Structure 1
């Protein structure tokens, strides 16, 4: 299964429809070095060796931890590997998440990503929206589109967007991808300590209409409370875990969904990858709802 990013552009990117998100490779609270650096590097190498060619990162993971791990594990990168990063936020020493989204901030972040990832061009950049603030969306996206014209960025996407924000973004320029929280258990807006996270269900139909891949994040971390009897029942039928059925559900929900489950465990990575081979039936999907 593959999916094409920016299919109508001069430079489309086709990737396998099961990626890997690097956020979980950091220390506690997405801060600092991994508990097991050797395993973190092996996870990245194993993912790519297993056919994963879409990796999601951000320079504020760690900070800069996942970017440096990617470069150490995989550089020089395989020709078909797409590394997607995020800008628009940063971390304070107290581990809080704060906006970093003025045009000057965004340029600083892009230059930092280019340096730490050892790239001359970022293939895909998500603008991570941090809720209402003093910097208009048009000003933020305008800065990224300017760097796209300069050749520093190939494609621009949006992350953590409401439907209205995505509609506004589409009026401002080509939006290649959308990255929102989404899972079987959590489909609409979720409140987290660092702000509200719009759900994938709110924008999925719009993404489908425009041929925009929807990339779910936190699809395992916050999903699947034990009381979800339906998904547990389907998991028993397939001799799988509920987490695997959650990933299979995302893959079957729409051909425009590109899951990127993250983990800091090599065994869990292999378990996640196995979910891609689970073929849910139409009856299964109807039962799950």
Structure 2
């Protein structure tokens, strides 16, 4: 099982990251809103993650709002060599904490400028266009604005998030798609309807990602209910003296060499537990049993 992954391997500026990243969304307050309950611990989680070998951080300026970007900068700036920070645009939050599209070209540009400012960067290494339902803004108009900012040097690599197979195919016809970020876990592999919108599953795009050497970054891999204690994943967890959550992470890492999980947590203890999952080596028989 490879320990690293290459983002945009055929580009002039590929990026390399260790295959277990960290998603920062859970560092915010309740409902992904406001400051964390324990700010010193949130900062320590970021520092510990990087010190422990995490080299990919996932964030968005609509987490908080702007909370995770500011925490990343406070904890880690000046950023160590080799650290890849990926952010997302295409959505925003209302005062009632709802999630709404923010995907007109001028809005996407405003989001990129805000991310650059709050992260303290001159160029963002990786930006995912989060699809929230196109509404009046077609995908080619949204993605066209992203590629335009890439040409300007504000973005190094462009990815897509919450994307269907048809949307990924359309995106690939427009330009290089570096990564895909979709919901994916052992327990939830296909599209799921949630109160704040539809989350597209990773299973329907994984083979297409592999065909084009596109890393798949699974989100919400630990958020939704893991199988019950009598399910197969619990049996494998007992075999390795691990938790079902750790086996879920290990399963993702073994599912494809192009998988880059980003399990998030607001607990330093859980961070260490998640990171330990990278050392669990599932056998072919384990993977066949899990399905």
Deviations 1:86-136 (A, max 9, x none): 000000000000000000000000000000000000000000000231101
Name the TM-score, length of structure 2 as normaliser.
0.98
Runs of 4+, deviation exceeding 6 Å: none
Matching residue within 132, 135, 138 for 1:133: 135
Describe the SS at the equivalent of 2:74: helix
Partner of 1:8: 10
Partner of 1:174: 176
1:76 and 2:74 aligned: no
Partner of 1:96: 98
Name the TM-score, length of structure 1 as normaliser.
0.99
Describe the SS at the equivalent of 1:98: strand
Deviations 1:124-159 (A, max 9, x none): 000000023110111101111111011000000000
Partner of 2:262: 260
Question: Is there any run of 5+ residues in structure 2 with no aligned partner, and where?
Answer: none
Deviations 1:5-32 (A, max 9, x none): 0000000001100100000000001000
Partner of 1:110: 112
Mapped contact 1:183–1:223 kept (Cα < 8 A): no
- Provide the aligned C-alpha RMSD in A: 0.7
Cα distance between partner residues in 2 of 1:244 and 1:131? 33
Question: Is there any run of 5+ residues in structure 1 with no aligned partner, and where?
Answer: none
Cα distance between partner residues in 1 of 2:116 and 2:19? 25
Cα distance between partner residues in 2 of 1:215 and 1:149? 24
Partner of 1:66: 68
Change (3 A) 1:228 1:92: farther
Change (3 A) 1:107 1:132: closer
Describe the SS at the equivalent of 1:95: coil
In the TM superposition, residue 79 of structure 1 has moved relative to its aligned partner by 1.2
Cα distance between partner residues in 2 of 1:181 and 1:228? 24
Mapped contact 1:184–1:223 kept (Cα < 8 A): no
Deviations 1:48-73 (A, max 9, x none): 00000000000000000000000000
Cα distance between partner residues in 1 of 2:224 and 2:175? 32
Mapped contact 2:227–2:233 kept (Cα < 8 A): no
Deviations 1:150-205 (A, max 9, x none): 10000000000000000000001100000000000000000111111110001000
Change (3 A) 1:228 1:67: farther
Describe the SS at the equivalent of 2:188: coil
Partner of 1:32: 34
Aligned residues: 289
1:272 and 2:274 aligned: yes
Change (3 A) 1:67 1:150: same
Mapped contact 2:89–2:128 kept (Cα < 8 A): yes
In the TM superposition, residue 272 of structure 1 has moved relative to its aligned partner by 0.1
